[in-house]
Structure 1
């Protein structure tokens, strides 16, 4: 009995996401996508309209997973400072089976400047993350964990920018000790 098409598409999107994450959009060839997904060239183009379409699906999947995990954490009962520390720790201690860095950050640099559709997707995701972080910071301010005189929106931007910087540093070869030192310093600024 054949597997349902939806299952195959989901698996192919996840495999393609890892290929794009590791090498970037331009450097990932159709042959690389065939190797990653286990699909033939014709199957890829019959299932997905184009390499760009597959990339958009992979980016969306990535953002749903990563932003979903962030929202779940920020809606938890953990104290706000612990939530923020966990966000930074996720950037320090990446899963060993994941490519280094961040697909969103890579895409911001590689594609957003010349692809308005991708830029809009990234902006929407960023706004969701910033809103959730700001709400967590404001809750921490109300609870007395975070200085109430600080601008919660600015602190949310600081956290997002620090996480992006940690991802870039990791991709550039920074070791865990260096990344941890950056995260520790960031926590003193919050």
Structure 2
């Protein structure tokens, strides 16, 4: 592939940027940021380092793009599926049931890239860690906004913190080998803490 005729910037004509981003996303999703080396990326993508730099910049820039792709694939910015629920508990059930299924979906990788992709990090990666924390905070805020359909703002914010903590714990448990049935037990227990009143 490296012997193919090159485009400007060093990329071969057969280079498929979208497919390369998908491969990189799945590697980061499965192994975390620091669990994937630059050499592993170039080998998996079938390109040399100059081609990878030309296409994505450095590894950190590639990871940010992979995070964006993951968020789009997993609907991290779209909670509209909750809006038809009659109560906060029903809405949260829809979210947690979907989370439990997604964490062990055979079409994807086990776990959650946003929650388990960088639990600990080298000090040099503090900026990237802050970006992940910001993305998680944005999801908590979106969930709180959505939950206001059924409960007051203060309760919505508390519920959002609780539900996202449950989701993060489920992501770790999925990595530890929990299956769909075991994750459902967690969902069922968590739902007992969520109000069941009909929307206000």
TM-score interval, normalised by the smaller of the two chains: 0.7 to 0.9
Q: Residue 197 of structure 2 aligns with which residue?
A: none
Q: Residue 132 of structure 2 aligns with which residue?
A: 122
Q: Which is helix-richer, 1 or 2? A: 1
Gaps of 5+ in 1: 142-147
Distance in 2, matches of 1:157 and 1:56, equals: 24
After superposition, give the CA deviation of every residue in 1:9-51 in whole Å (9 maximum; x if it has no partner).
2322221010011112222123322343343333212212222
Q: Residue 107 of structure 1 aligns with which residue?
A: 117
After superposition, give the CA deviation of every residue in 1:93-125 in whole Å (9 maximum; x if it has no partner).
122121101111123403387633223322332
Q: Residue 98 of structure 2 aligns with which residue?
A: 90
Q: Does 1:152 align with 2:156?
A: yes
The alpha-carbon deviation at position 179 of structure 1 amounts to 0.8
* Number of corresponding residues: 179
Kindly name which structure, 1 or 2, has the bigger radius of gyration based on alpha carbons.
Answer: 2
Q: Does 1:188 align with 2:192?
A: yes
Gaps of 5+ in 2: 1-6, 8-12, 195-200
Q: Does 1:12 align with 2:9?
A: no
Q: Is the 8 A contact 2:77 2:139 kept in 1?
A: no
Q: Does 1:21 align with 2:29?
A: yes
Q: Secondary structure at the match of 1:96?
A: coil
Distance in 1, matches of 2:56 and 2:172, equals: 30
Distance in 2, matches of 1:99 and 1:166, equals: 14
Q: Does 1:37 align with 2:45?
A: yes
The alpha-carbon deviation at position 157 of structure 1 amounts to 0.4
> Quick one: structure 1 residues 150 and 115, their matched pair in 2 at CA, closer, same or farther if it must change by over 3 Å?
same
- Normalised by the length of structure 2, the TM-score is 0.76
Aligned CA-pair RMSD: 2.7
The alpha-carbon deviation at position 69 of structure 1 amounts to 5.5
The alpha-carbon deviation at position 169 of structure 1 amounts to 0.1
Q: Does 1:136 align with 2:146?
A: yes
Q: Is the 8 A contact 1:34 1:40 kept in 2?
A: yes
